[in-house]
Amino acid sequence: MIIHKDCYKTILLIWTVCAPLAYCILRFIPWLFISYPLASVPVFFMGFSLFFFRVPARTVVPGEKVVTSVADGRVVVLEKVYEPEYIKGECMQVSVYMDFFNVHVNFWPIDGEVTYYKYHPGLYKLAFLPKASELNEHSSIGMRTPYGDVFFKQLAGTFARRIVSYAFPGCNEKKGEQCGIIKFGSRIDMYLPLDADIRVSIGDYVKACESVIAELK
């Protein structure tokens, strides 16, 4: 199992707190029917931290026009919107919400040149709420392709207090390579051209690299 390189410190912090706690419970509580269940809680969090920050092996869906999901999760928004920051016009928004059990590594959705990046400080409202896209802390990334621009946001949630992005304007990126990670529950908003052939519906569960969000014209 591969652990994301930007999560080593977070895992170390979790283990530094949980390992001594489990030891103290087992050492100082003599009743096994009490100490074992109590000690299993910090041990669980130690194991879960490794599971949570893993980097999965994925098979990328081929196709220059095919836009794959940036993240694992469930589609919670699918609508036509006006996007004022990068596209500056009407487009299709597809939002994917990640819960605690989803992989939180993010992947480039299509081959293209990064033409825009901006970090926005903000609030930490529940990521699945509609206003989270505007109010929450997030990173905005724009990509130019021969078939139209693709824009997406990495949104923080109530518990996600750190967004890591590898976007640098001027760089050419490949679909399926890592573009960052959002720690703990969070959301990805994708903005696609109006004429894109959307391949998902509200409530669909999608996987990064392997689920087709849309095909550009």
Instruction: Identify the helix (H) or strand (E) that includes residue 23.
Output: helix 8-28
Listed residue (163, 213, 208) closest to 55, CA to CA: 208
Beta bridge partners of 141: 117, 152
- Looking up residue 205, the CATH number of its domain turns out to be 2.70.70
The verdict on whether 186 is a catalytic residue reads yes
Question: 2-6, 29-33, 192-196, 212-216 — which is least confidently predicted?
Answer: 2-6
Higher pLDDT, residue 114 or 2: 114
Distance (Å, whole) CA 67 – CA 56: 19
117-126 average pLDDT score: 77
User: Do 139 and 107 share a structural domain?
Assistant: yes
Of 28, 55, 82, the residue that ends a domain is: 55
Structural domain boundaries enclosing 14: 2-55
Q: For residue 61, is it within any domain?
A: no
Distance (Å, whole) CA 166 – CA 171: 10
65-77 average pLDDT score: 96
Q: Is the pLDDT of residue 193 over 60?
A: yes
106-118 average pLDDT score: 97
User: Do 85 and 28 share a structural domain?
Assistant: no
User: Do 111 and 7 share a structural domain?
Assistant: no
Query: Tokens in use for 151?
Result: 């824009």
Of 36, 55, 74, the residue that ends a domain is: 55
Q: For residue 114, is it within any domain?
A: yes
Q: For residue 60, is it within any domain?
A: no
Report the percentage of the chain scoring pLDDT > 70: 90
Q: Place 112 in a pLDDT band, splitting at 50, 70 and 90.
A: very high
Distance (Å, whole) CA 101 – CA 78: 22
User: What is the total count of domains within the chain?
Assistant: 2
45-54 average pLDDT score: 86
User: Do 39 and 108 share a structural domain?
Assistant: no
User: Do 138 and 102 share a structural domain?
Assistant: yes
Instruction: Identify the helix (H) or strand (E) that includes residue 179.
Output: strand 178-182
Please count the other Cβ atoms lying within 10 Å of the Cβ belonging to residue 134.
14
User: Do 127 and 43 share a structural domain?
Assistant: no
Q: For residue 38, is it within any domain?
A: yes
Listed residue (138, 146, 150, 157) closest to 98, CA to CA: 157
143-157 average pLDDT score: 92
Q: Is the pLDDT of residue 203 over 90?
A: yes
pLDDT of residue 91: 97
Q: For residue 178, is it within any domain?
A: yes
17-44 average pLDDT score: 95
Q: For residue 160, is it within any domain?
A: yes
81-95 average pLDDT score: 96
Q: Is the pLDDT of residue 97 over 80?
A: yes
Give me the catalytic one of 49, 69, 140, 186: 186
User: Do 174 and 70 share a structural domain?
Assistant: yes
Whole-structure pTM value: 0.83
Angle at 194 between CA 80 and CA 78, to 5 degrees: 35
Average pLDDT, the chain: 89
pLDDT of residue 181: 87
Strand order in the sheet with 212-215: 66-68, 212-215, 197-198
